[in-house]
Amino acid sequence: TFSDVNTGKLVSRVTDTSAPVPLTCAQFHPDGLIFGTGTGDAQIKIWDLKEQSNVANFPGHTGQISALAFSENGYYLATAADDCCVKLWDLRKLKNFKTLQLDEGYEVKDLSFDSSGSYLAVAGSDVRVYLCKQWDCLKVMNEHTAMATGIRFGENANYIASTSMDRTLKIYAE
């Protein structure tokens, strides 16, 4: 459902008639023309906003989708679910090209690419930063005393901000 932010008036409503399942997360693509959603039945759906239709589906996770993030250039999509992994999708080829397997019981709550597309941050059981292309884990930060719920990069990836159920905002920088 889209509303005009100035008036609050409903502009459009798109309903997925193929399966009545809850939508668990959402993200605009950088070009603003497509929109990604995660579902309660482990599906990633890509929507064409102009046509108001589902144009691609990415199966492969098990469990409810918990987070998704588009890369800065819009070529890649990172997704996470209740299955202890992060999947990377190539939107040009419409396929999964990498799966980052996390520890048993690891929960992912948020994902974020930096503005250059060099790094991917994962928030959940801890805070992790991966180097894109090689997909090596560069750093794991365990300063939160409860689940990390949000993660974003600062300007030029000079710092990372994370939020947590421990009621803190942490800023990491070198």
3-state secondary structure of 132: coil
3-state secondary structure of 87: strand
* 2 or 152: which leads in pLDDT: 152
Whole-number pLDDT of residue 174: 78
Question: Side by side, which strands form the sheet with 119-124?
Answer: 108-113, 119-124, 127-131, 136-141
Q: Which of 16-20, 55-59, 98-102, 152-156 has the lowest mean pLDDT?
A: 16-20
**Count of CB atoms situated within 10 Å of the CB of 111:** 24
Whole-number pLDDT of residue 7: 82
Q: What value, to the nearest 5°, has the Cα angle with vertex 17 and ends 15 and 23?
A: 55
- Over residues 11-67, the pLDDT tens digits come to 767 676 776 788 999 999 999 999 999 999 999 999 998 888 899 999 999 999 999
C-alpha closest to that of 100 among 124, 118, 122, 74: 122
Would you say 129 and 118 are in contact if contact means Cβ atoms under 8 Å apart? no
Residue with the two structure tokens 């209740």: 82
pTM: 0.90
Integer angstrom CA distances of residue 133 from 86, 98, 136, 137, 158 = 14, 10, 8, 11, 19
What's the CA gap between 77 and 72, in Å, rounded? Answer: 10
